Chain A
Amino acid sequence: MRKFKEFIIEKLILICGIASIIFVALIFLFLLKEGLALFKIIPFKSFLFGRNWYPISEPAQLGILPLILGSLWVTVGAAIISIPIGVACAVYIAEVAPVKIKEVLKAGIELLAAIPSVVLGFIGMVTLVPWVKHIFNLPTGLTALSGSIMLAFMAMPTIVSIAEDALYSVPKSYKEGALALGATQWQTIYRVLLPAASSGILAAVMLGIGRVIGETMAVMMITGNSAIIPNSILQPVRTLTATIAAEMGETVVGSEHYFALFAIGIVLFVISFAVNVTADLFLHKRK
């Protein structure tokens, strides 16, 4: 009887354990099934490299190049802003800050992570957007840059907390050795600690970027959503995620527009999967 009980519990835990993998597989299969149907109607190449996105015209033009580039601009901009600040913040928290300030900073960063993205989007819309328009003297402030700045805020908590962990896991003897050889605190940080923690910091950066790519609500509210091929960060852009969110309500199930949105979902899935795998590789290298 006891053995039987053990058996049941063991199997139950096993099911819970593999449930997440099953969900992932089912979601991916559904995505593939709905998305790949599009390529019976239009060729893969004209979907990925088409320059026009007019999904409800007759015939529909379903080229997502402007959307991919839009996502790229916003993500690169957010990375440029959030990586230096995030890593520097992690170094400060892990190595420099006194205990009291450290606690306050950590709590603050956790709070930043807790702000819902729609709230950040709303704040960005009323404060950041007019500001960007004014400073750069643009026709409109709804630009990729506004999105990048807002998304940088969202990526920072991820980058800071993981990079900070990476810095902590550098063996203490490295630091002690460097200091004993007469290195200053700054020399120790950038010659010894940062290189030793580099793989963990890279993983932090990748996960931060992953968060930025998948973000939807805030970018939809402040990037202007025009499907042009952007050649500057000061232009409005339309991202992959915002396109799905803005248009999913309109599509009739089974239309080519509907399939196209799922195909965009596949593209997004592939991108964020690649980013996460890269991050995982870096994390494992560290261990």
Chain B
Amino acid sequence: MFRRFFTLLILASFCVPALAVKAGDSIQIKGSDTMVNLAQAWAEKYMENNPKVFIAVTGGGSGTGLSSLISNTCDIAMSSRNIKEKEIALAKQRGVNPYEMKVGLDGLAVVVNPKNPVSRLTQGELAQIFSGKITNWKEVGGQDRKIVILSREVNSGTHVYFKEHILRNNDPNSKEEFAPAALMLPSSQAIADEVANNPSAIGYYGMGYISPKQRPLSVAKDAKSEYISPTVENVISGKYPISRPLFIYTNGEPKGLVKEFDDFILSKEGQEIVLKTDFVPIK
């Protein structure tokens, strides 16, 4: 009996909606894992300047952030993708009015193990690899190894962006999906670790995660174009093809404390932090 009850308790814990505590001088920020470090850096600097204010930053994925904005459990949602029509409709139903603000840009790096001789691919080749049409590294000039595809879970904005812009090549009618065999990993760090240990793996993450343990690939729009490596300069100039805007969403136009924080983000100081955390400022 005890066991059965325990099983139910675990099941039950999935059913209880997260309760959020709100106090006067605090801001709850939630969402994109890509942006967590950035938002944390903003929050630390802002709290240093305004010691009375408390800002809590949590990750979970863009979808997580937006759904908690919709259910009113956070003040600011970070998102590495645009809000979906469906989400806007749901928000309106609940009396929430999502207000969008662009705060930076992010280059998405496609990475392989440093032992892998492949160092550049076209967007078309990437699409074929991640949708499972190319399954062996030798088809793109590598060793005779099976390709292990690493992807983020479906709650990740990076996942959605990659699917829409690489797999579906921005075509809204395309039905292309990640190969069912793709490993779904719970965080960008997990992808970084697996790529570092596995010579057959290919994965993607925000530029901020690039380290010597993984090799970022140079990417070309098509076979005739130049291969461009994911660097801050190439993202600013717009040459690197896989870059995306980063957003924050608030309920209605920001007011009070949230507005002051938003102004700080767009200020020179805030945008310098963007650059420092390996993202690309908008100003």
- Residues of chain A touching chain B, judged by Cβ–Cβ distance below 8 Å, are 20, 23-24, 27, 30-31, 34, 52-57, 66, 130, 133, 139-140, 142, 207, 210-211, 214, 216, 220-221, 224-228, 236, 238, 244-255, 261, 265, 268-269, 272-273, 276
**B88: shortest Cβ distance to chain A, in Å?**
11
Q: List 22 A-B contacts (CB under 8 A).
A: A20-B1, A24-B8, A27-B8, A30-B15, A130-B197, A139-B145, A139-B147, A139-B200, A142-B183, A210-B3, A214-B10, A226-B180, A228-B180, A246-B153, A246-B186, A250-B61, A250-B64, A252-B86, A253-B90, A265-B11, A272-B4, A272-B7
Q: Tell me whether A276 and B186 are in contact (CB under 8 A).
A: no
Separation in Å of the A274 CB from the closest CB of chain B? 11
Contact partner, B155, options A214, A247, A254, Cβ 8 Å: A247
Q: State whether A140 and B67 are in contact (beta carbons under 8 Å apart), knowing that A24-B5, A228-B181, A252-B87 are contacts in the complex.
A: no
At the interface, yes or no: B98 with Cβ under 8 Å from chain A? no
A251 CA / B70 CA spacing, docked (Å): 11
- B11 contacts A31, CB within 8 Å? yes
- B87 proximity list for chain A (CB < 8 A): 252
Q: Which single member of A24, A140, A207, A251 contacts B183 (CB below 8 Å)?
A: A140
**Which interface class (under 10, 10 to 19, 20 to 34, 35 or more) fits B?**
35 or more
Which of A23, A133, A211, A216 is B198 in contact with, Cβ under 8 Å? Answer: A133
B53 contacts the other chain (CB 8 A):
no
Does A224 contact B183, Cβ atoms closer than 8 Å? yes
**Smallest CB-CB separation from A248: which chain B residue?**
B14
Name the distance in Å between A74's Cβ and chain B's nearest Cβ.
Answer: 15
- Which of chain B's residues have a CB closer than 8 A to the CB of A273? 4
User: Is B86 a contact partner of A246 (Cβ separation < 8 A)?
Assistant: no
- Contact between A255 and B182, CB atoms less than 8 A apart: no
Interface residues of B (CB under 8 A from A): 1, 3-5, 7-8, 10-12, 14-15, 17, 60-61, 63-64, 66-67, 70-71, 86-87, 90, 145-148, 153-155, 160, 175, 177, 180-186, 194, 197-198, 200-201
Please provide the 7 A-B residue pairs with the shortest distance between their CB atoms, ordered closest to farther: A250-B155, A250-B63, A249-B64, A225-B184, A224-B183, A228-B180, A139-B146
Chain A positions within 8 Å of B15 at CB level: 27, 30-31, 34, 265
- Pick the residue among A24, A66, A130, A139 that contacts B148 (CB under 8 A): A139
4 other A-B residue contacts (CB within 8 Å) besides A236-B183, A249-B61, A251-B63: A27-B15, A140-B194, A249-B155, A273-B4
Q: Which residues of chain A are near B66, meaning CB under 8 Å?
A: 252
- What is the CA–CA distance of A55 and B86 in the complex, to the nearest angstrom? 14
Query: What is the chain A residue whose CB lies nearest that of B18?
Result: A249
Complex CA distance for A224 and B185, rounded to whole angstroms: 7
Q: Across the interface, which residues of A come within 8 angstroms of B71, CB to CB?
A: 253
State whether B67 touches A214 (Cβ < 8 A).
no
